[in-house]
Structure 1
Amino acid sequence: MWSAHHRRTAILGWLVFVVLATVVGGATGTVTASDDEMGTGDSARATKILDDAGIDEPASELVMVGAKSPDGWRDAAADLSRALDRTGRVTALKEPLPSKDGKEALLRFQIKGKSDDAADQVQPVLDAVDRAKDAGAEHGVTVHQFGDASSEKHLNDLLADDLKKAEFTAVPLALGILLVAFGAVVAALLPVGLALTACVAAFGLLSLASHQLHLFETTFSVMFLMGLAVGVDYCLFYLRRERDERAAGHDAETALRIAAATSGRAVLVSGLTVMVAMAGMFLSGLLLFKGFAIATILVVCVAMLGSVTVLPALLAWLGDRIDAGRIPFLNRRSRKGVHASGSVAGSLLKPVLAKPAFFAVAATALLLALAAPALGMKTEQLGLEKQFGSDAPLSVSFREITAEFPGGPEPALVVAKADDIRSAPARDALRELTRRAGKGAELTVHARQNVAEIAVPLPGSGTGAEAKKALAELRADVRDVRAGTGSAHGPALTAYVGGDLAESEDFTDQLGEGIVPVFLFIAAVTFLLMLVSFRSVVVAVTSIALNLLSVGAAYGVMTAVFQHGWGASLIGSEKVGAIENWMPLFVLVVLFGLSMDYHVFVVSRIREARDRGLGNADAIREGITRTAGAVTGAAVIMVAVFAVFGMLSMQDMQQMGVGLGVAVLLDATVVRMVLLPSLMSLLGERNWHTPRYLRWLPQVSHDEPAPAARPASPTWQHV
């Protein structure tokens, strides 16, 4: 109400905050995480040894030249070698390595400069290879390229394009849905404008935070996704309640006061729940999730504060002008829709409340059936060839190269460090490690840094079951050799196994260990917040149970679509045989947070009706029907935003979009319209019972505020 009475201060203060956060964040820049920071386990220790020693492995590239006849590649390979050398960006270019049948040859080289800058330096090399492809096509010569720099550049370009596509698609989509919902341009622009300014301010704050907590490349995409969804939702809940109260005959001041005391409070409870739930990701032990946590907490906090400060100020300033820019056809439809959504919800509720046991069992069975495929879920760190799709040129090149030259572009890397790498015990240990690594292992000794590297090719593409088995054996051999080089035999030799596959396996193992404490933290926090808000153990427990059913169904659908390929082609995706390893934990945390939007909003309205003296069934009916329009609109916008991400190019973005979209859709329909009312109907008065040992909890009112005297402020009288 302070914001409503001091609207100029509130609005200007918000704009100043957004501008300052954006300018300061842009001036300081964003710090991204290095490879050793993102990793965990032995692979991260191996990377750290190299970093501490100042050893930077240049980005390596592979180019395969093939022909229809043996040795038919020689002229093309010689021309390409000269072209690569002329770019000035290539070093350590080796002689062509022929394949077994002699029809292909592999050019191996590195990109000059630091590996972190390789993606920015590789374009002339890509141009040279493209020219060789065009020239070779006329003579039946094929050229395929894959490597660190080329794949990273492709990934960066794809991420930038995807984020731009998401921004330019999600925002107009949300605006169009709001136009249909409200039938007026100003009412539709308000939630989108608030959400976008919240995202912009949060981007600046996140850039500042990145200097203390380094970020992953996709963190800003996740922030935008969350910010747009919750920003529009919070504003929609608030605005819908204010319009409903105006339609009920209240004046502007009373309608705004009721919206602030009911929907405003629900926004605060929901936002706080989301932020605390997101904080659970700090317990994962992985920098990726810590970045996701700080990003989502910032954007939800900014959106929540904007919804309870600048939004009331704007509503007070606009007054009836909130309906400015009416679209006749849509406006009539939207006004009817407010009542129609309630009447439709009421019609759907009749059989649910008449036979609550049947519908509770049926809804639970449906959600469990959808969750069933998750029992066979497999997770892995999807390689770039799977991220880009099987038809992408980079994926085709990866398959062609690994088929003719097994071992994968990225071998396992044994990194060893000793007090004196040239001492006899250290040399003996390195010799033993190289012998156990088998054929093809290459030893490189950095004598000045007392560090050694052993590159060990892995079977097949370097990512399959054979490669994982070989990696496990290699790690066992390294542990054996390391255990035999203690002080009794001379200078100690410390050795760890790194490489892409080792990093993926370590990351997955850490996720498996981290998901339990994260889940326990989120469940405990959700329970406590719901307990304080509603003083009911039953409501707190059922909140967690309903959320788990939604999460399980999302897991099942993700597994069915992306692991098994059921219906993947319908969204332009394909079967990849696994779920991105960070996705289950991320979806769990986000859904636990987002589902509280609807749950707090709906249960608060039910409790509000209950506090006015209605019986349990009547309170459920009124709470569901009165919130049906807002919940439906918010769910449609969230699902639409998530669907945009489900249609992007990257496999992990597709999985995230589909998982979150399906979960929100089920949460707003099956859970909130069927399972929640049927369960609350079965529980009856036990929903609101406060045990004697909890009666010390504060009493949070969910009723409408009592009428207040009109303030004497000329500003408010003008409204």
Structure 2
Amino acid sequence: MFVTLGRWCARRPKRVAAAWLLLLVSLAAAVGVLGSATTESVSIPGSDSQAAQDAARVFADSASGRQPLVLHTPADGVPLTSARARDAVQEAARALAGRDHVVAVTTPYEPAGAAALAPDGHTAYLSVELDVAGRDITADIAHDLVDAAEPAAAAGIEVTPGGNLAAAADKKSTRRSEIIGLVAAFAVLYLGFRKPIAAAVPLAVAVVGVGISLAVIGLTGHLMDMPSAGATIAAMIGLGVGIDYSLFCLTRFRELLATGKGIEDAAALTTGASGKAVAFAGAAVIAALASLALGGLPLLRALALAPGIAVLVAMAATLTLLPALLSLLGRRLAPAPVAGDALVARDTPTAPHAADLPEAPTVPDTPTVPDTPTAPHAADLPEAPRLPARGWARVARHVADRPWRYLLAGLAFFVLPALAAAQLSFGQLDGGDKSPGTAGRTAYDRLEAAFGPGVNGPLQVTDRLPKPASGPTDPAVTAVGEALKDTSGVAAVGPAQLSRDGRTVRWQVTPTTAPGDPDTAGLVHRLRDSTLPPVTRNTGREAHVGGVPATQLDLNDRLAQRLPAVIGLVLAIAALLLLLAFRSPLVAAKAAVLNLLSVAAAYGVLTALFQWGWGAAPLDLPGPVPVPGYVPLLMFAVLFGLSMDYEVFLLSAVREAWLATGDNHGSVIAGLGRTGRIITSAALIMVCVFLAYLLWDDPVVKMFGVGLATAVALDATVVRGLLVPTTMVLLGKANWWMPRWLDRLLPQMHIEGGDETPVPEPVRNA
């Protein structure tokens, strides 16, 4: 099937390329007309914070909320209580009221906004109600509102957007990160291929794939809640896997051209061999991401869907667009007649392709020892060729000849990161974690200094009454208000707000601590467990605690509950796929365990650099930054999927040599020697792409960049270069042991080797 697909695309290269270009342009046009919809809202079905959010929908401002414009004058400047400042602020409010998307503006001089004026008289905020919310608040809207407040600025009052207005004003283009990642990837590809046109092909395939993916994700946001972080993560992963998948296939294409294959045959056989491995690896990533549906959270499903779309499109582009480009460019992609020109040429001689090897002789079906190794006996077959050791072939032989030494060294490398990973705890970010100098950080700091840390993350308490209240002074209403004020950790309680039907009451509760402070989480628990139950018990009332801090707390609690199930499912999926691919229970189980090491290392780095603050200076962070619960969970699924790429390509080469020779030791050397250079090159490209996203101000994006880069780098070097070969050498022929009953049960699946060149199967033992 894959050979046929590759040949079909190679025979119609212009049509295939035009179809992909038309798809890209059409989707881009659709996004231009409909817009790219993303949201920052978090839905946690069944949680107390979700119940509070649902109850608050009866209030007019619940759809958009109110966004602050922070007003500030220096301590030695004119106070905001002066007549001059008052006139300027009120003039600014009138100007704001006339701007697009503005529904209402409340000044600190009105009774409804009196709490917005700080006691020192030098800080206050205008409360602006908009008809748009979340990511629909664009940078243009934010800048337009700041411009409208010019009368206040002219009077010496500094105006800074806060809330979602600040997020929009601070939003930067992702192009710088993506361009840097692409330039670095081109440099790595050029060093390997030594031809600019060859280096450009993987980039072209990846860019087309990412462009289409982002358009699809943006349009999907009109059908379901799609976090803006999902598109960023999708771009990051889409670029990485798109380049890597094309790199693997282009390398095989160049090898086939070097052996004298025609262009069409080389493109078809490339799709049949490396393309099949790409499809398997991509399916593994998507399956791992799909396991996040167990999290039971729309946010998690959306965050998994976005990179899943990117991987699916990258896989499709590699299997169709790439063969078309290979056919169009033909021998211009071939390696130059200079030793070491091809990306893996210097290491390739260590193992011939299975298609070029004689079929393994049949072994009698009466083994001396039942349920022992499942390949031809090494004594009956020639040893794996011992060609001159170069590059990774030399490394492979050195490691394989000293397995215990390098196994222990590799495991020791992960001890410290694993210890740090054990200290990882889930937390919640707030405005104080933003980069200094941004509008969001400036507004956060000024509000905290003037009103206290809790003002940046107020809680929302709702109470649904069995019958309408007579008014804010109804005893049923005041009883809850007084209980809230008497709760430890509460700095202030706003006036009770009644819905039009009088059956829903809402209070804004300001904590004494910052939104991300653990003490704020403690306050949420006290309100739910101690304050509200005595007042509402046996009354038919439904009281709930919401707001951003409560929502983040519920999110982290839900993620912590589901984490073991998700990890178990991802491990099972990875092991099952590898079992199907390589028909070896030991290989599948060992791969799943070793993959955990690179994930643990990534978690350890997150703990040290972010949670402990060791990376604050180089990462441009204000200090220690909490790690949101969804970051490790999503990273786990992504990393397990990505690590399958390298596992598949390495083990495919080892298995080819094993099936041809039956020499386990030599096959490990041959497999690592043949694939080591391409795996490290692919990993280096992915690391460059991920690290380029450290230029973002968003700490979450930095976390993904650092964590993914760390894990991929260690997975491609320490795990694939040391741990996998040493364990395979030590296990010997047991690597390929397969019970006959399981062999009959599982379907046959050949990852490497084209459809037209079947790989010989070993004889199984009973």
User: Normalising TM by the smaller chain, what interval?
Assistant: 0.7 to 0.9
3-state SS in 2 of match to 1:633: helix
Matching residue within 480, 486, 498 for 1:433 = 480
Q: Is the 8 A contact 2:289 2:308 kept in 1?
A: yes
Counterpart in the other structure of 1:51: 57
Change in Cα spacing, 1:482 to 1:357, as seen in structure 2 (3 Å) is farther
Question: Contact between 2:687 and 2:712, CA under 8 Å: does it hold in 1?
Answer: yes
**Percent of residue pairs identical:** 27
- Against the structure 1 CA distance between its residues 245 and 135, is the aligned structure 2 distance closer, same or farther, given a 3 Å change threshold? same
Q: Does 1:196 align with 2:207?
A: yes
Q: Which residue identity does 1:155 align to in structure 2?
A: A
Matched residue, 1:346 = 393
Q: 2:89 aligns with which of 81, 87, 95?
A: 81
- Report SS of the residue matched to 1:561: helix
Q: Which residue of 2 aligns with 1:405?
A: 451
Deviation at 1:129, TM superposition (A): 6.1
Which 10-residue stretch deviates more, 612-621 or 9-18? 9-18
Give matches, 1:417-428, under 5 Å.
Answer: 417-422=464-469, 427-428=474-475
User: Which residue identity lines up with residue 229 of structure 2 in the other structure?
Assistant: T
Describe the SS at the equivalent of 1:669. helix
In the other structure, the counterpart of 1:512 is: 560
**What SS is found at the alignment partner of 2:542?**
strand
Q: Which amino acid in 2 is paired with 1:147? A: G
| C-alpha separation in 2, matches of 1:270 and 1:565 | 35
Secondary structure of the equivalent of 2:738?
Answer: coil
Kindly tell me: are residues 177 and 230 of structure 1, through their superposed partners in 2, closer, same or farther at Cα, counting changes over 3 Å? same
Q: Tell me how far apart the structure 2 counterparts of residues 399 and 34 of structure 1 sit (CA, whole Å).
A: 22
TM-score normalised to the size of structure 1? 0.88
**Residue 554 of structure 2 aligns to which amino acid in structure 1?**
D
Corresponding residue of 2:749: 700
CA 1:28–1:103: 2 relative to 1, 3 Å: closer
Please state which structure has a larger fraction of its residues in helix. 1
Q: Are 2:15 and 1:4 equivalent residues in the alignment?
A: no
Displacement of 1:430 in angstroms is 2.4
Summarize deviations over 1:53-85 as a string: whole Å, max 9, x none.
655364142635355469855436425423422
Separation in structure 2 between the aligned mates of residue 261 and residue 118 of structure 1, nearest angstrom = 48
Partner of 2:105: 91
- By how many angstroms is 1:125 displaced? 4.4
Q: d(CA) in 1 for partners of 2:296 and 2:448?
A: 34
1:111 aligns to what? 128
The question of whether the paired residues in 2 share the 8 Å contact of 1:69 and 1:103 is answered with no
Deviation at 1:223, TM superposition (A): 1.5
Paired with 1:449 and 1:55, the residues of 2 have a C-alpha distance of: 16
Runs of 5+ unmatched residues, structure 2 = 98-103, 351-389, 486-490, 758-766
* CA distance, structure 1, for counterparts of residue 228 and residue 516 of structure 2: 23
Where 1:612 maps in the other structure, the secondary structure is helix
Structure 2 residue matching 1:453: 3-state secondary structure = strand
Structure 1 residue identity aligned to 2:637: V
Using CA pairs below 8 Å that are at least 6 residues apart, which structure has the higher relative contact order? 2
Once the two structures are TM-superposed, the CA of residue 145 in structure 1 deviates from its matched residue by 4.2
Offset of residue 589 of structure 1: 0.9
For the residue of structure 2 that corresponds to 1:516, the secondary structure is helix
Q: Residue 326 of structure 2: which of 291, 315, 325 is its match?
A: 315
Which residue matches 1:489?
none
Check the 8 A contact 1:229/1:637 in 2, yes or no.
Answer: yes
Shift of the 77–285 alpha-carbon distance from structure 1 to 2, 3 Å rule, reads farther
Residues 40, 286 of structure 1: 8 Å contact kept: no
Describe the superposition over 1:488-512 as per-residue Cα deviations: whole angstroms up to 9, x where unpaired.
Answer: xxxx322211112111111111111
Q: In the TM superposition, what is the alpha-carbon distance from 1:469 to its structure 2 partner?
A: 2.4
Shift of the 107–100 alpha-carbon distance from structure 1 to 2, 3 Å rule, reads closer
Asked if structure 2 preserves the Cα contact closer than 8 Å seen for 1:389 and 1:574, the reply is yes
Q: Does 1:589 align with 2:637?
A: yes
Cα offset, 1:466, TM superposition: 3.1
Q: Given the superposition, is the C-alpha separation of residues 604 and 157 from structure 1 closer, same or farther in structure 2, using an over 3 Å criterion?
A: farther
Q: How does 1:661-676 map to 2 (within 5 A)?
A: 661-676=709-724
Superposition deviation, residue 350 in structure 1: 2.9
1:195-225 per-position Cα deviation (integer Å, ceiling 9, x unaligned) = 1111222233334433332211122111111
2:659 to 611, 625, 630: 611
- Report the secondary structure of 2:511's partner residue: coil
1: CA distance, partners of 2:545 / 2:641:
37
> Counterpart of 2:127 in structure 1: which amino acid?
Q
- SS of 2:618's partner is helix
1:238 and 2:242 equivalent? no
Mapped contact 2:484–2:531 kept (Cα < 8 A): no
CA 1:294–1:466 in 2, change beyond 3 Å: closer, same or farther? closer
Flag the 1:81–1:273 CA change in 2: closer, same or farther, 3 A. same
Distance 1:678 1:473, change over 3 A: same
The answer to which of 49-58 and 661-670 deviates more is 49-58
Deviates more, 1:395-404 or 1:514-523: 395-404
- The amino acid that maps onto 1:662 is T
Q: How many residues align?
A: 689
Residue of structure 2 aligned with 1:415, choices 437, 441, 462: 462
Unaligned runs of 5+ in 1: 137-141, 487-491, 709-719
> Match of 1:84, as an amino acid?
A
1-side partners of 2:444 and 2:550: how far apart?
19
Matches within 5 A, 1:527-546: 527-546=575-594
Contact 1:26 1:204 in 2 (8 A): no
**Does 2:673 correspond to 1:625?**
yes
Residues 53 and 128 (structure 1), Cα distance of their counterparts in 2 relative to 1, 3 Å cut: closer
Identify the range of structure 1 (515-524 vs 463-472) with the bigger mean alpha-carbon deviation.
463-472
Cα separation, 1, equivalents of 2:149 and 2:622:
28
**Does the alignment pair 1:689 with 2:744?**
no
Does the Cα contact within 8 Å between 1:416 and 1:452 map onto a contact in 2? yes
Matches within 5 A, 1:336-415: 338-339=345-346, 343-386=390-433, 388-406=434-452, 407-415=454-462
Aligned to 2:47: 41
Partner of 2:614: 566
Aligned AA (1:7): R
Deviates more, 1:22-31 or 1:551-560: 22-31
Letter in 1 for 2:748: Q
CA distance in 2, matches of 1:611, 1:21: 46
TM-score (norm 2): 0.83
Q: Deviations over 1:360-397 (max 9, x none)?
A: 121112113222212211322211331x2244353244
Q: Report the Cα offset of residue 663 of structure 1.
A: 0.6
For 2:569 and 2:563, the matched residues in 1 are separated by 10
